[in-house]
Structures are given as C-alpha cells and as structure tokens.
Amino acid sequence: MNYNWNWRIFFEPAPNGTGTYLDMLLSGLVLTIETALVAWIIALVTGSIIGVFRSLPSKTANRIAFAYVEFFRNMPLLVQLFLWFFVLPELLPRSAGLWMKQMSNAPFYTAAIGIGLFMSARVAVQLAAGIGSLPRGQMQAATALGLTTSQSYRYVLLPMAFRIVLPPLTSEFLSTIKNTSVAITIGLIELTGQARAMQEFSFQVFEAFTGATLLYLLINIVVVIGMRFLERAVAVPGYITGK
C-alpha cells in the first residue's frame, strides 16, 4: 500500500490557528455531543407526547400520532434536513426566512431540531410499545382509584413505561449521536466533518478517519456504561429489563 502513514499528524498545528489537528477533532467531538444532547431533549419531549397520543383511547389522538410518526419515519434524515435548511426559509415570509438564514448558528439549530424531530418518531413508537406492554389492570386500577386520565399517565403508566423502554431508548440515543454526522451536508462541522476537514488539509485520510472512529467508539462505550448503571438503578423489581 503506497500510502505515507504519519500518526504524528495529530500533534501538528492545523491551519485554523486554534491548535493541533487533535484539537480540531476534539472540537468536532464537542459539537457532536452538544448537537446530540439538544436533539435528544427535543426527541424525548415530543416523542413522549406523541407516544402518549398513540396509546390514548381517543381515535383523533391516535390518528394525529400515526400521521406524525409516518411523516418523520418515511423520509431519509438527509432529505428532512434539506427541507428544514434549504426549503423552509424560502416558504416563509421574506423577513422571517432571512432571519432564519442569517442566524450565525443556523446549521446547529437546524441539525438539532431536524434530528430531534426525526428521532422523536422513533421514541414515540418505543414509548407507545412500552405503555402497551403494561398489564391492562394498571390503568383500570388507576381509574378505580379516581385518577383522571392525565393523572394515571403521570403517576402510574409513564413512570413504569419509561423504565421498561430504557434499553431501547439507549440505542435510540446512540442513533441520535450517530445521526448528527448527517448534518455535515448542511455545513455543521461536527466530528465527521472535522475528520473530513483534517483529511483535506493534511492529506492524511486514514489517520483522520481512524481518529474519528476511535472517538465515536469512546462515546459509545461511555454512553453504554452510563446507561447500564441507570438501568440498574431504575429497574422495576420483577421485570426483566434487558441485560
């Protein structure tokens, strides 16, 4: 293989003047984590609302949830980001569109919201399945105690359902982190974007991508271990909560 390996490249100064190539990758890592966290909060909040809608006895609520989930699940994430980034500002009144486009962090907000909504459909499906897996007696008992529907969800169903779906939610969170890389197409320079930039500036393709790969593995390991502790802490006695 006629390729000039140079692992010391990570410690050589990068042209952006803020440090070495390793610093470049690390700043990408930070942006990846920030984007993923904001996106995950959006996904959890909207996903929970839609998930509850999916499980409510109301037909209208079911239909809204169904349409929502289908809308966000049946388009590639990349296309959704393009819709938010390139299409939406053009459909708004000119001044609003211009304001959106000239926000200095436009790629970050677009990515966080776009990925958040994309993931919310998945969270909704998981949560609805979790609620559906609870024995019917729980809701009946709550009603018998005189709780309203919202109270039964708040105090009985959701606390159980969230603990049950924690393992699948972990993997959805990992997907959220990975999906942030799609945002390089709208100009977000997260970890994959920084690896690409490092490759372009230094011509060390494989070192750059190896660096990014190791950092992604590191995030995964940290998240998996962290979630394992959380799962153990909140496990419902008598329930099999995955591993």
Partner 1 sequence: MFANFDFDVIRRSFGYLFLDGMTFTLTLTALGALGGLIFGTMIALMRLSGYKLLGRIAGLYVDLMRSLPLVLVIFWFYFLVPYIGQWLTGASRPVRVGAFTSCLVTFILFEAAYFSEIMRAGIQSISKGQPAAASALGMTYSQSMRYIVLPQAFRNMLPVLLTQTIVLFQDTSLVYVLSIPDFLGAASKVAQRDGRLVEMYLFAAIVYFAISCFASYGVRRLQARISIVR
Partner 2 sequence: MESLRMMSLAVAAAVFATQASAQELTGTLKKVKESGTITVGYRDSSIPFSYLDDNQKPIGFAIDICRVIVDGVKSELKLDKLQVEFTPVTSSTRIPLLANGTIDLECGSTTNNPERLKQVAFTNTHFLTATRFVSKKANKLDMIDDLKGKSVASSSGTTNIKQLTEANAARNLGINIIPAKEHAESFLMVETDRAVAAVLDDILLASFVAGSKDPGAYVISKDAFSKPEPYGIMMRKDDPAFKKVVDAATSALYRSADGQKLYDKWFMQKIPPKGLNLNTPIGAELKHEFANPSDSPDPDSYKAM
Binding site for partner 1 (CB under 8 A): 1-3, 70-71, 73-80, 82-83, 86-87, 90-91, 174, 177-182, 184-185, 192, 195-196, 205-206, 209, 212-213, 216-217, 220
Dihedral-angle region of residue 203 (phi above 0 means left; psi in -120 to 50 means alpha; beta otherwise): left
Q: Which amino acid is at 87?
A: V
Given CA atoms 84, 79, 183, 165 in this order, what sign does their dihedral have?
positive
Q: How far is the CB of 138 from partner 1 (least distance, A)?
A: 25
Output 145 or 217, the one with its CB closest to partner 1.
Answer: 217
Output 124 or 197, the one with its CB closest to partner 2.
Answer: 197
Residue 62 touches which member of partner 1, partner 2, none, C-beta under 5-8 Å by kind: none
Question: Is-contact 130 162, C-beta < 8 A?
Answer: yes
Residue 74 touches which member of partner 2, partner 1, none, C-beta under 5-8 Å by kind: partner 1
Q: How far is CA 113 from CA 39, 42, 89, 240, in A?
A: 6, 7, 14, 34
Residue 216 touches which member of partner 2, partner 1, none, C-beta under 5-8 Å by kind: partner 1
Q: How far is the CB of 44 from partner 1 (least distance, A)?
A: 20
Residue 91 touches which member of partner 2, partner 1, none, C-beta under 5-8 Å by kind: partner 1
Residue 70 touches which member of partner 1, partner 2, none, C-beta under 5-8 Å by kind: partner 1
Q: 20 — phi, psi (to 5°)?
A: -85, 175
Output 21 or 72, the one with its CB closest to partner 2.
Answer: 21
Output 12 or 200, the one with its CB closest to partner 1.
Answer: 200
**Rounded-to-integer distance, Cα 59 and Cα 52, Å:** 13
Task: Write out the residues near partner 2 by the rule CB under 8 A.
Answer: 2-3, 15-18, 86, 89-90, 98, 101-102, 104, 106-107, 185, 187, 189, 193, 196-197, 199-201, 203, 205
Q: How far is the CB of 202 from partner 2 (least distance, A)?
A: 9
Q: How far is the CB of 113 from partner 1 (least distance, A)?
A: 16
Transcribe 19-45 into DSSP letters: SBHHHHHHHHHHHHHHHHHHHHHHHHH
Residue 12, classed as helix, strand or coil, is: coil
Transcribe 40-105 into DSSP letters: HHHHHHHHHHHHHHHHSS-HHHHHHHHHHHHHHHSS-HHHHHHIIIIIHHHHS-HHHHHHHHH-TT
Residue 18 touches which member of partner 1, partner 2, none, C-beta under 5-8 Å by kind: partner 2
